[in-house]
Chains A and B, each alone.
Chain A
Amino acid sequence: MKYVDEFRDRGKADALVAEIDKLVSTIDIAARRPIHIMEVCGGHTHSIFRYGVEGMLPKEIQLIHGPGCPVCVLPMGRVDDCIAIAEHANVIFTTFGDAMRVPGSRKSLSQARADGADVRMVYSPMDALTLARNNPDREVVFFGLGFETTMPSTALTVLQAESEGIANFSVFCNHITIVPTIKAILDSPDVHIDGFLGPGHVSMVIGTAPYEFIAQYYRKPLVVAGFEPLDVLQSIWMVLKQIREQRADVENQYARVVQGTGNVAALQAISRVYELRPFFEWRGLGSIDHSGVRIRDEYARFDTERKFAIPNVRIADPKSCQCGEVLKGVIKPWQCKLFGSACTPETPLGALMVSSEGACAAYHQYGGFKKQAGAA
């Protein structure tokens, strides 16, 4: 744990916070009150709450918890599709654990399992492929979910299935891509963001070049950030420094892991297996162009969408649910009318309440401590 503890040191955190305080006091706050910094990735959101980072920051800084939790942006209709597939008598439906409790319009996968569907949690798509190998008379479906972080492992599993000639395995591909979504958020009229913490794990795969447009076209600083709380603090400091110096660059705080060029092998697997969809539906954000991928024609026999008749119904988010506004940072989670009353971690209405990376669940579980005030 030595390696990790280095990034959670109270003394270093205090020093960084002091630096941040100093920097903020030199920024012309009147012009941009408060400073909005969006952490794109759910891993950051989790770390921020888990370690109480937000409450250590000066009140002039407001963190906006972005759309980078793949479970949270999964539209209800897709969950319904999963359940429809899982309810086929011959199907073993495999998924990462965090998708189990996401509410569909009728039920969640976890409820579907209780009702008799064969839904199993796996730790990796390769586990699902093993299930397929061991159950040749069953049809094994893997629920492919996540950003560029998990895309390569799903792609490699498809390639593996192909080389072994496994016929009873397919992927229900719901992989999404982060960059078009950041763009959509920046284009949305009710959003004011002064800088970004870029997703560390995604960047490990795609590198830092895909973010350049954010700096060049939108003139917003972006710092690719690691997930330890000191990483987050340091990255916030780096964003502030850019704001102070009126720069907008893509910087890399997570250089110990992220290379500018990304991971070439992973990128190759991605482009071999997937192609961009014209558009993809995001919960709370609506349809975003080129924000999702599907399986290429060459691998059609591993594509659940072509193997099964999928209802593919679009279900509107519940009316009073304000997940979209929270995702865009227009309101804070507790400002949603359902927060803590109709929508709680035990009975989530919105997906942001499901995963520990979702802003609403994080606020509910860890509390939003502010520097001056007590509990929010």
Chain B
Amino acid sequence: MNEMPFRRARSLGKVNVPAVTLAHGGGGRAMKDLIDDVFIVAFDSSFLAPLEDQARFDLAELAVYGDRLAFTTDSYVVDPLFFPGGDIGKLAVCGTVNDLAVGGAIPLYLSCAAIVEEGVSIDMLRRIARSMAETAKGAGVRIVTGDTKVVHKGACDKLFITTSGVGIIREDIRLGVDLAHPGDAVLVNGLFGDHGAAILEARGEMALETPIASDCAPLHDLIATLLAAAPGARCLRDATRGGVATVLNEIAEASDVGIEIDEEHLPVREEVRGFCEILGLDPLYLANEGKIVAVIPPEESEAALAAMRAHHLGERATIIGWITDGEPGRVVMRTVLGGQRIVDMLVGEQLPRIC
């Protein structure tokens, strides 16, 4: 990590040029001003270590939450930076919060490292920093350390953000991608494919009358609700890149089980289906940023479904299929027509820069 953790705001309003220049990456006064003026003011967290190069935590305080530390990291390079339903900042917070939450962890702290291309507007950076701060606040996490680098034009595209996150897992929670059992129900918390479709749409692939909004959202609260209703939950995964199909394949493979889903029960928004139809895409493979796949033992499946549906991020939750003792590692779908087909991992080029 760089020697510039976010410090307590000193004097603000020092950046009065419209765009980032290489001087802002030089490590000197201009850089301090940029960090103060754009990030510190947004993240203004009493937790920020005032003078140190790292955030420090009291282990005893963390231990109240549980017995295991969860630690994750992810980079965000989405293009465009702003899209209906979110922006790169919101995405960077939600993505890492969700990566923690699907492990059963309570998300607590995030880091944020930004790589900024020379020429990016300061105002835009401010908007993104504010969006990160708001999202973090809503998710109950704090951004406690960070780094900013400026690179010359063309060395990156506008802005890349990396967030890492720390959370704590409660003693009684045991989730694992290898724990699915024949008979278990497979649930998703709502309509899927929105994020992928929203990004493609925002890139101007199609001109829809009502743009599709990304489902980008922090899922820790939904997951806490779900785990309270279904303490025996076997495994949770967020269905980001590669979509629901990829997660199902990962579960089938790791747990050495078959999975059967029914196309008729797949919750997909009309607009997204139409969009996929025209572009020849399959919503099962489209990215999501606010959807989980949950494998729940049969006796808890109804309770899990009810709990999800009672939560505002799970109103359209559905049981999409079941774990079977069919061919291990294989995901099979009953099609709308009544035929059967394999739902395999995605082959070939992924849609690039979707998150």
* Smallest beta-carbon distance A343→chain B, Å: 13
- Is B330 among interface residues, defined by CB-CB distance under 8 A? yes
Return the contact of A10 from the options B264, B273, B326, B340 (Cβ within 8 A): B264
Residue contact A4 to B277, C-beta cutoff 8 Å: yes
Docked CA distance A344–B267 (Å): 31
Docked CA distance A158–B21 (Å): 46
Residue contact B344 to A365, C-beta cutoff 8 Å: yes
Return the contact of A14 from the options B270, B327, B338 (Cβ within 8 A): B338
Closest partner residue, chain A, to B280 (CB atom): A356
Residue contact B337 to A230, C-beta cutoff 8 Å: yes
Residue contact A51 to B335, C-beta cutoff 8 Å: yes
Residue contact B338 to A369, C-beta cutoff 8 Å: no
- Is B342 among interface residues, defined by CB-CB distance under 8 A? yes
Docked CA distance A51–B264 (Å): 12
Closest partner residue, chain A, to B338 (CB atom): A10
- Is A179 among interface residues, defined by CB-CB distance under 8 A? no
- Interface size bracket, A side: 20 to 34
Residue contact B273 to A50, C-beta cutoff 8 Å: no
Return the contact of B337 from the options A52, A361, A364, A365 (Cβ within 8 A): A52
Residue contact A375 to B347, C-beta cutoff 8 Å: no
Docked CA distance A54–B339 (Å): 8
Residue contact A50 to B348, C-beta cutoff 8 Å: no
Enumerate chain A residues within 8 angstroms of B347, measured Cβ to Cβ.
345-346, 361, 365
- Which chain A residues (324-376) contact chain B, with CB distance < 8 Å? 345-346, 361, 364-367, 369, 374-375
Residue contact B339 to A52, C-beta cutoff 8 Å: yes
- Which chain B residues (325-339) contact chain A, with CB distance < 8 Å? 326-327, 330, 332, 334-339
Residue contact A13 to B348, C-beta cutoff 8 Å: no
Closest partner residue, chain B, to A367 (CB atom): B342
- Is A53 among interface residues, defined by CB-CB distance under 8 A? yes
- Is A56 among interface residues, defined by CB-CB distance under 8 A? yes
- Is B27 among interface residues, defined by CB-CB distance under 8 A? no
Enumerate chain B residues within 8 angstroms of A14, measured Cβ to Cβ.
338
- Is B274 among interface residues, defined by CB-CB distance under 8 A? yes
* Smallest beta-carbon distance A110→chain B, Å: 8
Of B277, B334, B335, the most chain A CB neighbours within 10 A belong to B335
Docked CA distance A369–B273 (Å): 25
- Is B341 among interface residues, defined by CB-CB distance under 8 A? yes
Of B327, B341, B342, B348, the most chain A CB neighbours within 10 A belong to B341
Residue contact B341 to A52, C-beta cutoff 8 Å: yes
Residue contact B335 to A50, C-beta cutoff 8 Å: yes
Closest partner residue, chain B, to A47 (CB atom): B337
- Which chain B residues (295-338) contact chain A, with CB distance < 8 Å? 326-327, 330, 332, 334-338
What are 12 A-B contacts with C-beta separation under 8 Å? A1-B270, A13-B338, A17-B338, A50-B335, A52-B334, A52-B340, A56-B337, A229-B335, A365-B347, A366-B341, A369-B341, A374-B326
Q: Chain A residues in contact with chain B, CB under 8 A?
A: 1, 4, 8-10, 13-14, 17, 49-56, 101, 229-230, 345-346, 361, 364-367, 369, 374-375
* Closest CB pairs A-B (n = 8): A52-B339, A367-B342, A345-B347, A366-B341, A51-B337, A369-B340, A52-B341, A51-B335
